[in-house]
Amino acid sequence: MKDQLTQNSRFKYIYNLLKLDGEVKSKKLSEELSVSLMTIHRDLKEMEEKGYLELVHGGAIQKSDNNIEYPMFIKTSEFVEDKKKMGYYARSLIKDGQSIFLETGSTPYFVARELIHLKKSVFYTNSMLILNTLSRIEDLELHTIAGKYRELSNGFTGFEALRNIQNYNFDICFIGTESISSDGIVSLPNQEDAHTKMAVMNQSKKKVLVTDSTKFNKTSLYTIGHIKDFDYVITNLDVHSKVYTQIKEMNENLISIKEY
């Protein structure tokens, strides 16, 4: 590669190689990315500490996990244009002056980016990614929900977050997920993340699930609800696909941006 990549770009490159080949070699990465072996060793060490891989002699291997939850730097680089369109549609569901909770996840992040021009609305989030983005906007009322920091979510979850969430009543929330089964069960691989999302849903008058097409026909360990529990489901499913038809029968407010 002619141009030297940023650390996040190197992480993404390494992560994608691990998904394809199951292993990477430090020397080869150094040559391909045009950086020193020392830099590669630091990158691999940091990725190991975050749980993305396992170090072995001369490189690293993919972390063995049958139910992989991808890190946020991968999620935010996938389906970018589709997620922007999902965010644009989500804007139409909100009225000025409402209280809005934006949960952790890459798709809620793209929703947040479309809401910055709402007037007199109050924003709540447990996502560091969303917090960092919205905090740059002047005259925007923004609150964070504190709790236990979770690296893969890039946000706060756990008992402390649950207690804080229960103090509020939100007009609308936007929730992401890792899995939606063929029979409409919405689930996540992490218990604390699941409980936090359930708490937000319980405190919200209107619940909106925002998710990309890769999350369908999957099942994770912890259920947060059924597709019917959401007032709207916004996605990028092919409207001619079998899964779209199945989910549409369960929730008539399934919205695919591929329709527009």
Residue-wise pLDDT for 68-116, tens only, equals: 677 777 788 788 999 999 999 999 999 999 999 999 999 999 999 999 8
For the chain, the average pLDDT equals: 91
What confidence score (pLDDT) does residue 66 get? 46
pLDDT for residue 72: 76
198-218 core/surface letters (b: 16 or more CB in 10 A; e: else): bbbbebbebbbbbbbbebbeb
pLDDT one-digit tens code per residue, 139-191: 899 999 999 999 888 999 999 999 999 999 999 999 999 999 999 999 999 99
**C-alpha span between 10 and 16 (Å, rounded):** 10
Q: What is the CATH architecture of 7-64?
A: Orthogonal Bundle (1.10)
* pLDDT score recorded for residue 62: 79
Confidence bin at 53 (pLDDT 50/70/90):
confident
Which residues of the chain does CATH 3.40.50.1360 include?
73-259
- Domain boundaries for CATH 1.10.10.10 within the chain: 7-64
- Confidence check: pLDDT of 65 > 60: no
* pTM attached to this predicted model: 0.78
What pLDDT does residue 115 have?
A: 93
pLDDT at 123: 97
Query: What architecture does CATH give domain 73-259?
Result: 3-Layer(aba) Sandwich (3.40)
